[in-house]
Structure 1
Amino acid sequence: MEIAELKAIIEGLLFASGDEGITVKQLKGILNISEETVSHLIEELKYEYERIDRGIMIMESNEVLHLTTKPEHSEYYKKLLEVPQSSRMSQAALETLAIIAYRQPITKTEIEELRGVKSDRPVQTLVARSLIEEIGRKESIGRPILYGTSKDFLTYFGLTSLEELPPLPETGESEDVNQEADLFFERFNEELELDNE
């Protein structure tokens, strides 16, 4: 295999490994080449990334390699994070988020029972926006995924903990609970839309 192709594969593996990163030993095993060759290719990539026209670099921490952005460009990344992501969430996504926030941990089937409709799409949307995440598996037939809110959920809604969610009325009616929760999330959704204008 050509050196250029090996470097491209290493670059892709570094990207795909995300926050967890990858070790030289893992790269050696995946590529079936010597550790020395992997180290040499990493050094070449590091050198290439040092050029001013490149926006990424390889960082090594505790023998784990990470592909990361250059610190000298941090002001631009901060601006990106300050720009709100796409505007409003759909009503279905808001309902689903409210149910998960108040009833977590909860499975998709349980969400669908409360909403009375399929919830594949809203769950996918919320996972894609990092507002909810898989937090385990339920000890039942099929071991369905349990969902809960993420740290990004708290940040998105300006909360420091789930205890800051507005209390729901003391009632057994799940419809009332859902309506109250929907109002809370809709308020934030509208505020975000105003901020985007």
Structure 2
Amino acid sequence: MDVNTNAADRFPGGLGACLEAILMAAGEPQHAGDLARALGVDEKAVTGALERLQASYETAGHGFELRRTARGWRFASRVEFEPVVAAFVTDGQSVRLSQAAMETLAVIAYRQPVTRARVSSIRGVNCDGVVRSLLVRGLVREDGVDEESRASRLVTTDLFLEKMGVESLDDLPSLAPFLPEADEVLEEVAEDGVESR
């Protein structure tokens, strides 16, 4: 018997309703393949049902949405409601990353895999404490060892991608608009050379 043919009999309210129930109960994002295996249906059917649910929530104007992230599908508050939700959740407490943590995270995100020593060299300060904080928060992880220095290499996690609202590192914004033009750098180098004489 084909498990997909009797979906109406097997799933009260249909496949979409069952997926809603599972995602509401799940504490973590879920991949379509895992949901398909658990329900005994084709992954394409699950992906299609999730995409239809996503579109229906988008047009209905709810305060939540069904979001596909690097870690899987999950319910989340819509972006426009984040200030309201943050005010409720934090209730006046600051849970934001410090400036040092943001800078360190940016270096790791754009230079990964990278060692702690390299991150410290780029930032010009010792970053061990900040890196430990990012590791504890689950935004970065150690991934192998650098062949030359034998130091652990740091990379960002799927949680980092999720918090950034992107599916892959390729979706991160380009740094090019924030970098100085080559002419400006050459002028500064020339000026520094003249001043040092």
Q: TM-score normalized by structure 1? A: 0.44
Name which structure has the greater RCO, CA cutoff 8 Å, separation 6+: 1
Q: TM-score normalized by structure 2? A: 0.44
